Amino acid sequence: MSAALEADVRTQDGTKKGSVELPEAIFGITPNAAVLHQVVTAQLAAARGGNASTKTRAEVAGGGAKPWRQKGTGRARQGSIRAPHWEGGGIAHGPRPRDYTQRTPKKMVRLALLSALSDRASESRVLVVDSWDFPEPKTKDAKTTLESLELRGTDEKKDPRVLLVLDRGEVNTWKSFRNLGRSVQIVVPEELNAYDILANDWLVFSQATLDTTTARLSGTADSADSGDAS
């Protein structure tokens, strides 16, 4: 078995503090592109509202009386002013509320997550901060931290997108980063998913959240690894 991968460990001010081993079974598998595609597609489908709705002729108010008699007027026969071809009538074959959720087996979801983690690790886009220290919520301090960690571009429009994995108890850290717009996304370890990882350029853990994530996935890594693409 090959040696475990490594990720840089830095302090909040950007000082390199060493490295940490990333388990091969979680961060070093061969990404399964087909499973990634299917799981991400299902995740995006589940996010659709599906609440578009139109009324059929049976639901539009009015139209109960025949607009004119059947014969003798010289006009085409009509049964209701709420028929689809009338202005103000019902809609034929219009959208109705629906659920776009696709069923995805848990093993596929886990394999997609491991594949996404491995993809970022293979590109050295996984960073670990030993601990966060924000005495008070302050967006300016969060910007400074990203600059110290070299996660900010020279042009603000070209800033890399960063996925921060934070603990629920790190309230000041959460509030400091949450106003940085689309360049920073925050999740807790149990919310980590393939789509969010792939949608961001960098994956940043604290030492605590990395340990939590590794412990959570270690029980499923062996079974999911068996489904890797060759």
CA distance 225 to 77: 68
Residue 187, both tokens: 């999740």
Q: Is the pLDDT of residue 168 over 50?
A: yes
Predicted confidence at residue 136, as pLDDT, reads 93
pLDDT digits (tens, 9 = 90+) for 31-73: 999 999 999 999 999 999 999 999 999 999 999 999 999 999 9
Residue 109, both tokens: 């979801």
> 5-48+103-225 has which CATH code?
3.40.1370.10
Residue 191, Cβ density class (10 Å: 0-12 exposed, 13-18 middle, ≥19 buried) = exposed
| Residue burial 56-71, b: 16+ Cβ < 10 Å; e: rest | ebeebeebeeeeeeee
Mean pLDDT of 119-133: 93
Nearest partner of 201 among 130, 131, 127, 147, judged by Cα: 127
pLDDT band per the 50, 70, 90 thresholds, residue 221: very low
Q: Is the pLDDT of residue 155 over 90?
A: no
The domain spans of the chain are 5-48+103-225, 54-94
Predicted confidence at residue 40, as pLDDT, reads 96
CA distance 134 to 174: 9
Give the pTM: 0.79
Predicted confidence at residue 182, as pLDDT, reads 83
Mean pLDDT of 78-104: 95
